[in-house]
Amino acid sequence: MFNLLLVSIGGGLGAVSRFLLGVKIQQRYPDPPIPVAMLTVNLSGSLGLGVFFGALFGGIPVLEYNNPWFLLLGVGYFGAFTTFSTFSVEAATLLHDAEYKKAFVYIGLSIAGSVAAFIAGIYWFI
């Protein structure tokens, strides 16, 4: 039960953080060529998760589901902060609107960028 509470608290904080950062970016860039709000959220979240894993675990943890920090931050906060579902909707919308070049750039930056940011975060500490 305590583990569920940790994931819930982290998830709530991560979702609120994602919302606030997304709103701030959309206010600053109201009509970007690609969805920069969620791109920024996903890249920064991937970097943050990598930094967290590198600092606390020295690498990618395996089966840490009894570690309260892993549950609170790794599963809860960063799991809710980053959003693959919104990325999917935005990518599908660009494709539906025949914005193929923008879709390719957005998909490429989102996927390759998130993986690269995560790896950079991990290696920041190891």
Decide if 22 contacts 47 (C-beta within 8 A).
no
What's 59's DSSP letter? S
Is 79 one of the annotated binding-site residues? yes
Decide if 73 contacts 52 (C-beta within 8 A).
yes
| Unique residue bearing structure tokens 């969620």 | 38
What does the alpha-carbon distance between residue 120 and residue 41 come to, in Å, rounded to a whole number? Answer: 16
Q: Which residues, including other chains, have CB under 8 Å from residue 51's CB and lie 6 or more apart?
A: 121, 122, 124, 125
Decide if 121 contacts 50 (C-beta within 8 A).
yes
The annotation places the binding site at: 79, 82
Q: Which residues are annotated as a binding site for Na(+)?
A: 79, 82
